Structure 1
Amino acid sequence: MQHPPEDPVRRREFIATTTGTAAAAVPIAKQRRSVGMSDVTRAAAGMNALVEADDRHGGHRSLAAAALEGRAEVLELQQRNASERVRRALYALAAEYTTIAAWSYIDLHDLDTAQRHLHESTTFAGLSQDAPTGMRVWINVAILAYQRQNWTEQLAAAQAANASTAARRDPFFGSMGRVRLALAHSTLGDPRAAQKALGTAQEALRKAVEDERPRWTAFYGPAELNHLAAIILNRNGQSANAEMMAHRALAKIPAEFQRNRALATCQLALAQLRQGEPEQATATASTVFTIMDGAPLPGRMRSLIGDFHRDLFRLAPSTTYARDWADRMREEWSRA
């Protein structure tokens, strides 16, 4: 699904509309003396609206602010009378909202702020005793550790995700945990362990059955697993296989997951470049800007594009297509 380019005003209006929807979805009825599952449902609707916004454009400060506002509303509900079931559900939502904020700051590459919010979400997830919520927190801890280049913490978080209750009970979450192990092993330079964990992640996902799961899990499936496989194979120096997995991912990643499509395209471009195809790789990398449809590039994506840019000018510094790429990148980099 293609969209016409959006100007900065339209993007601001989109974020404002989304965050306004989220805020409206979690009203506080202060005159009521107790809280029930209907309040939880309304709060969850606001959280899901933010997840959908993140799927399209990635993390932004407006999204993080809206998530923290939603968390404040949920914690205010916690101060009123509620059953144990409702309290656990509210703590799970507090963890979810806080994790959305943390994830936004990871995308923005504001890692200190992300770290603080992840610590908070870990507390809320523990209080909720909700297995999928705990799984999500560990995955984000692993991603943040990678961004901080703390490879041992990345591995420890991946091991915690893989050993979690959610991973033991459901092959779907088991696949999520095992692919995080594969990513951690590839970062540590252990391609054999990475390949083994990737194989078990693929097998677990084949065993998973359709079931009702939290909205945040919608990104994960065969397409996203292929995208993560492309990352692992690129790190392992298997560029041809990485290109194949990136193509498979892009064939099936839904159009609404713009950020994930753009990230998989970055992996495809890197794989092509590392196989000695700089012109084709440059054409591929240029489509990232089209996929993002005028939205500013999240910090993690800028980092990948920066890696591509440096490798391109090392291999083909004086070519016309490299100079054209540099001009396009400067233009896109200047977007607010």
Structure 2
Amino acid sequence: MTPNRALAQKMIELGYTQEQLAEEMNVALRQITGSTGNVSVRTIWNLLHGRTRRPIGRTRVALEHVFDCSIKDLGFDQPSPTPSEESVLRRTFAGAAAGIAAAAALPPTPGPRIGMADVDRLDAAFAGLVAADNSHGGTVSLETRAVAFAHHAMELQAVGSASQRVRQRLYYLAAAFTGTAMWAALDAYQPDRAEGHFERAMRLAGLSGNADIQLRLWGHAAVLSTQKKSPHDALAAAEAGRASSTCRRDPLARSLAAARLAGVQAEAGDERSARRSLDSAVDAFLRADKSELRPTWMAFYDQSELSGLSGLAMSRLGRHDEAEAHFHRTLGELRPAYVRNRWFYSTHLALSQLRQGDVELACSTATSVLQDPVSDSLTGRIERLLGTFSRELAGRAPRAQATESWKEQYGRRKGLL
């Protein structure tokens, strides 16, 4: 038997499990014929695994109704029926009630059993993607891999049988992988691509019932809205994250959400609210039990990241001396694995130094990013920051020797990208 990947893909796109598709098809049959259908998990398993290659009668009609496309588009052999065949099918539905009841009583043939071992393998893959993001930032490769893993998680939902606990975890992982794809797009400064990932990720997160992943996605949504120049949406997303049940339960999550909210408030020029949020972030951070087991994606949030987010807020408020102090603390405490964040905060440090008039020091700091032996893919957000630095430097000190040296190195680097 050859699995029907076209049908599996359609189920993934709509978020259907085998049980949910069977239910939807039975609803469709009830709408068409006035009688309850007999589609079971066994039916769906046969369709997915190639045991049924030419669905006919009520099964075919229900599939086309649910997916709103021809049977051929769903990967089956039988083309769409003629109008006369459709009429015959509908007339015969009512007379098939006894046969339907008998078929419904048959025990379903289960698909492969999906268990926590499968979930654990996906968890390990997710941790690997998070580590790759920390090291190299948002790349097209990372985004593509994250989407592929999300599809795999949903494919397991579609073709296998599992406990409710496992299913909810698969939804969580699908949301987590899609969120990683969203973040990769944001880091590459591709907000339109990121927006498509966000819509799907939030739907999967809702199906998972997991508040932790929703908190992560609200944080990404605030960045997305900022990139799309929608400050009100950014504030709403940051506030939604801060109000989540995870933040009520976990002080560390509350600290992260408050620090992110401060950055959005600072972007809007609300210094009073931003400082109040930062005070809240610090207080919650001090209260948090750092040894508590938390989701993989939260491992980045420590004292260095709190200092970094504080620096970003101060920079947006024009408090460049305070921002510089925060960025120095961040870079002094940042763990070695967080290479992308080192580039990011180093570039912000250079901007803070430049905006205080220290041209030579700023150029030295920015040059350290270019000279990093592993920084061979400075694209997206960091590349835009370096572009901003270059423009501001040219405007502030166009004839300085440090400016000429920077222009030469930056131009050479741009030629290599």
- Counterpart residue identity of residue 208, structure 1: A
SS where residue 334 of structure 1 aligns?
Answer: helix
| 2:200 is aligned with 1:120 | yes
Distance in 2 (CA, whole Å) between partners of 1:68 and 1:47 is 11
Q: How big is each residue's C-alpha offset from its partner over 1:192-232, in whole Å with a ceiling of 9 and x where there is no partner?
A: 11111011011111111021111111111110010111111
Distance in 2 (CA, whole Å) between partners of 1:182 and 1:147 is 17
Q: CA deviation at 1:234?
A: 1.0
- Counterpart residue identity of residue 127, structure 2: N
Q: Residue 116 of structure 2 aligns with which residue?
A: 37
- Counterpart residue identity of residue 124, structure 1: L
Q: CA deviation at 1:295?
A: 2.2
Distance in 2 (CA, whole Å) between partners of 1:57 and 1:335 is 17
Matches within 5 A, 1:100-139: 100-139=180-219
Aligned match for 1:167, one of 247, 259, 264: 247
Q: Answer whether contact 1:259 1:292 (CA < 8 A) is retained.
A: no
Matches within 5 A, 1:1-336: 33-79=112-158, 80-209=160-289, 210-291=291-372, 293-336=374-417
- Counterpart residue identity of residue 221, structure 1: D
SS where residue 371 of structure 2 aligns?
Answer: helix
Distance in 1 (CA, whole Å) between partners of 2:338 and 2:414 is 21
- Counterpart residue identity of residue 304, structure 1: L
CA RMSD, 1 decimal: 1.4
- Counterpart residue identity of residue 337, structure 2: E
Q: Answer whether contact 1:258 1:291 (CA < 8 A) is retained.
A: no
CA 1:292–1:198 in 2, change beyond 3 Å: closer, same or farther? farther
Q: Answer whether contact 2:172 2:213 (CA < 8 A) is retained.
A: yes
CA 1:183–1:292 in 2, change beyond 3 Å: closer, same or farther? farther
Tell me the matched-pair count: 307
Q: CA deviation at 1:331?
A: 2.2
Q: CA deviation at 1:308?
A: 1.1
Distance in 2 (CA, whole Å) between partners of 1:189 and 1:51 is 32
Distance in 2 (CA, whole Å) between partners of 1:92 and 1:294 is 32
TM-score normalised per structure 1: 0.89
Q: Answer whether contact 2:278 2:310 (CA < 8 A) is retained.
A: yes
Q: Answer whether contact 1:246 1:267 (CA < 8 A) is retained.
A: yes
Q: How big is each residue's C-alpha offset from its partner over 1:242-293, in whole Å with a ceiling of 9 and x where there is no partner?
A: 1111110001111110110111111211111111101110101111123462
Higher relative contact order (CA 8 A, sep 6+): 1
Q: Residue 78 of structure 2 aligns with which residue?
A: none
User: Which one has a bigger Cα radius of gyration?
Assistant: 2
- Counterpart residue identity of residue 186, structure 1: A
Q: How big is each residue's C-alpha offset from its partner over 1:67-86, in whole Å with a ceiling of 9 and x where there is no partner?
A: 11111111111112111111
Distance in 1 (CA, whole Å) between partners of 2:376 and 2:305 is 21
- Counterpart residue identity of residue 169, structure 2: A
Q: Residue 25 of structure 1 aligns with which residue?
A: none
Q: Answer whether contact 2:369 2:375 (CA < 8 A) is retained.
A: no
Distance in 1 (CA, whole Å) between partners of 2:230 and 2:360 is 34
Q: Residue 43 of structure 2 aligns with which residue?
A: none
* 5+ residue gaps, structure 2: 1-48, 50-109
Q: Residue 35 of structure 2 aligns with which residue?
A: none
Q: Answer whether contact 2:111 2:161 (CA < 8 A) is retained.
A: no
- Counterpart residue identity of residue 218, structure 1: A
SS where residue 310 of structure 2 aligns?
Answer: helix
- Counterpart residue identity of residue 141, structure 2: S
Q: Answer whether contact 1:286 1:325 (CA < 8 A) is retained.
A: yes
Q: Residue 18 of structure 1 aligns with which residue?
A: none
- Counterpart residue identity of residue 194, structure 1: A
TM-score normalised per structure 2: 0.72
The list of structure 1 runs, each at least 4 consecutive aligned residues, that deviate by more than 6 angstroms after superposition, is none
- Counterpart residue identity of residue 280, structure 2: T
Q: Residue 20 of structure 1 aligns with which residue?
A: none
- Counterpart residue identity of residue 128, structure 2: A
